[in-house]
Amino acid sequence: QCCLHPYIPECGTEWWLLVGLLCIPLLAVYLHIPPPQLSPALLTWRSAGAFFTFRSNNIFYRETYGAVGSSDVVILLHGFPTSSLDWYKIWEPLNRRFNRVIALDFLGFGFSDKPRPHRYSIFEQASVVEALVSHLGLTEQRVNLLSHDYGDTVALELLYRSDHNRTGHLTINSLCLSNGGIFPETHHPRFLQKLLKDSSFLSPVLTRLTNYMVFSKGLGDVFGPYTQPTDAELLDMWTGVRFNDGNLVMDSILQFINQRDEHRDRWVGALTSTFIPVHMIYGPLDPVNPHPQFIFLYQKLVQRSTVSVLDEHISHYPQLEDPTGFLNAYFSFINAF
């Protein structure tokens, strides 16, 4: 009846609002355009790798044999929302130093399967790494972990399992972290990440509405002003996200931020109590883990770790922004013991 009342204009407004809300999911479906074609760089990267099966999901990994006369193995753990391709600039130098260089795409990332619906967790990703090590026959081998961002938290779960002698654990020779949000109190997720991890009813729409323009702006913001990724690199990163509809699982994967809060004592505790050699490589212009709060807290809590702070213009992706500085820092650490 109220809509017949000449002095209550809200009723018409409510009707249009309802239509608008109904149109949003239709628009989102409309915007679900096909993913970009794989570039020659991505095709080359994929053809150089292989797949193994973890709980009926295909996991992509890449492995090369390098330094003769060395038995050293390094396993590279990438960050969110990208993939093993993050390591391409430092792969060859690592290959000259290590006998085996291994990287994987975590479940839900890159060329690996991206099941949905699925409860993605750091614990499962650590189990993926353990399964890969077993698949490659390296269970008894001492391995060096080199991680970044999301991979840092996976590495800390692997460290916890190793130090607590859990079944199937890795034998970790050393751990090098880089720019990971390992302390919830100094971690500043991006605005879209906060929306996706907490807005269960909005997330399906937001994941479909996120396009290359939104993605490239967000990722560019966590690179330094003088070390921005090229358009080709950004497109490859976005293609990796879109491959197998990975954009549609972003909200589920982002629960790792809440998991870091919930399991802080377990993962930070593993880091502060371990006797395994640990190093942190840090790009100080990182808006996600800002300077100086992050590194001050790290040095205060992780007193047995050594630290390399890179040039002041290096941000959240140091292995891509300053591969030479990153490698110098890593080799100084790894060659010291």
Residue-wise pLDDT for 4-19, tens only, equals 444 444 555 676 777 6
The structure tokens listed for 3 are 């809509």
Mean pLDDT on 173-197: 93
R_g of the chain, CA atoms, integer Å: 22
| pLDDT for the residue 178 | 98
What's the rounded Cα separation, in Å, for the pair 292 and 268?
A: 19
Report all structural domains of the chain as residue ranges with CATH numbers, in order of start.
Answer: 60-335 (3.40.50.1820)
Is there a contact between 274 and 174 (Cβ–Cβ < 8 Å)?
no
Res 116 pLDDT > 90: yes
Res 322 pLDDT > 50: yes
Quote the mean pLDDT of the chain: 92
With CA atoms as reference, report the closest residue to 90 among 178, 210, 215, 180. Answer: 178
Mean pLDDT on 315-326: 98
Concatenated DSSP letters of 89-123:
TTHHHHHHH-SEEEEEPPTTSTTS---SS----HH
**What pLDDT band is residue 256 in, cutting at 50, 70 and 90?**
very high
Is there a contact between 197 and 255 (Cβ–Cβ < 8 Å)?
yes
pLDDT tens-digit readout, 121-169: 999 999 999 999 999 999 999 999 999 999 999 999 999 999 999 999 9
pLDDT tens-digit readout, 9-55: 455 567 677 766 777 666 666 566 788 999 999 999 999 999 999 99
**What pLDDT band is residue 279 in, cutting at 50, 70 and 90?**
very high
5-to-9, 18, 44 alpha-carbon distances in Å: 8, 20, 68
- Range in 2-16, 67-81, 208-222, 301-315 the model is least confident about: 2-16
The structure tokens listed for 261 are 């809060």
264-to-151, 156, 183, 261, 295 alpha-carbon distances in Å: 15, 10, 7, 5, 17
**0.75 exceeded by the pTM?**
yes
| pLDDT for the residue 190 | 87
| pLDDT for the residue 198 | 80
With CA atoms as reference, report the closest residue to 89 among 215, 284, 231, 233. Answer: 233
Looking at this protein, which amino acid is placed at residue 238? Answer: W
| pLDDT for the residue 8 | 44
Angle between helices 264-273 and 293-301 (to 10 degrees): 60
| pLDDT for the residue 7 | 44
